[in-house]
Structure 1
Amino acid sequence: GKILDVQGKSEEDSTPDNDNQLWSYKDGYLINKQSGHDANNQRWGTKHGFIYLHAKPDLMLDIRGGSTDDGAKIILWRRKNEDNNNQKW
């Protein structure tokens, strides 16, 4: 499996419960435990397995280049109608 992590923190396998790897979803906000902050540019929606930016619903969380490698970058990208498995969560 994979985790969503804040860049610059531990990437060691089996590192338990680092705050930079813990997230909560509340009222449309994806909040990282380490910062505890929420802001309008952190408000997200979900639909059919896609996670989209509430302010710009055509932008989805996307794994850059469809990579399955450890350390792959998560980016915002326009929703693709085809070949979009790297945008489904």
Structure 2
Amino acid sequence: MASSYGFPQDTYFYIKSVKTGLVLDVFDGQMGDDACIITWPQKMNDNDNQLWSFENGFLTNYKSKRVLDIRGGDLKSDCAVVQYAKKSTKVHNQRFGFRDGYIYVISEPRLVFDIKGGSDKQGTGLIVYKKKTHGHENQQWELEPFEQPHRFKNPFGHA
């Protein structure tokens, strides 16, 4: 059985900022590699680019089927988080865990998801940054389950 690394299994969810209440969103609903991940108001409809699932360290977007990825594979502060095709090797920049409200890089747990510049403006980019212990609300996240309407097909095989 695969580890959940603190994330819900076999379901879709929103990743919501504790600081702003905004959720992670694939910019402009883009489908391809290297699309930026931003914060945006949560949508109740047309929200496929805001829904995420988790499996074995990978956070996958419902719409694009791409996973979250640290741009360029660099495990250092201030690197952008984008979506990218899931890799089968050298996945150090595509696997994440969730603990104590932080989404961290499994291969470098001191790096966590961070709203760039601590901004509260919608459309701000997501980066990884060194974990802070004070003044860290822009690094804190909540996972909100997606309530599936009847029209929504659950790929996990149950309602």
Same fold (TM over 0.5): yes
Higher RCO, 1 vs 2 (CA within 8 Å, ≥6 residues apart):
2
Q: Which SS does the other structure have where 1:8 is aligned?
A: helix
For residues 1-89 of structure 1, what are the structure 2 equivalents within 5 Å? Answer: 1-9=21-29, 14=43, 16-37=45-66, 38-39=86-87, 40=91, 41-89=93-141
**Aligned-residue identity in percent:** 40
Give the Cα separation in 2 of the matches to 1:88 and 1:12: 16
Relative to structure 1, is the Cα distance of residues 84 and 36 closer, same or farther in structure 2, using a 3 angstrom cutoff?
Answer: same
1:31–1:42 Cα contact (<8 Å) kept? no
Matches of 1:14 and 1:47, distance apart in 2: 25
Unaligned runs of 5+ in 2: 1-20, 31-39, 67-85, 142-159
Q: TM-score under structure 1 normalisation?
A: 0.80
Tell me, yes or no, if the aligned pair for 1:24 and 1:30 is still in contact at 8 Å: yes
Q: Which has the larger radius of gyration?
A: 2
Coordinate RMSD, CA, aligned: 2.4
Structure 1 residues 46 and 15: alpha-carbon distance in aligned structure 2, compared to 1, 3 A threshold: closer
TM-score normalised per structure 2: 0.48
User: Is the 8 Å Cα contact of residues 25 and 31 (structure 1) preserved in structure 2?
Assistant: yes
Q: 1:72 to 1:45 in 2, by over 3 A?
A: same
Displacement of 1:66 in angstroms is 1.3
Q: Distance in 2 between matches of 1:47 and 1:75?
A: 18
Structure 1: which 5+ runs fail to align?
Answer: none
Q: Which structure has more helix as a fraction of its residues?
A: 1
Superposition deviation, residue 27 in structure 1? 2.3
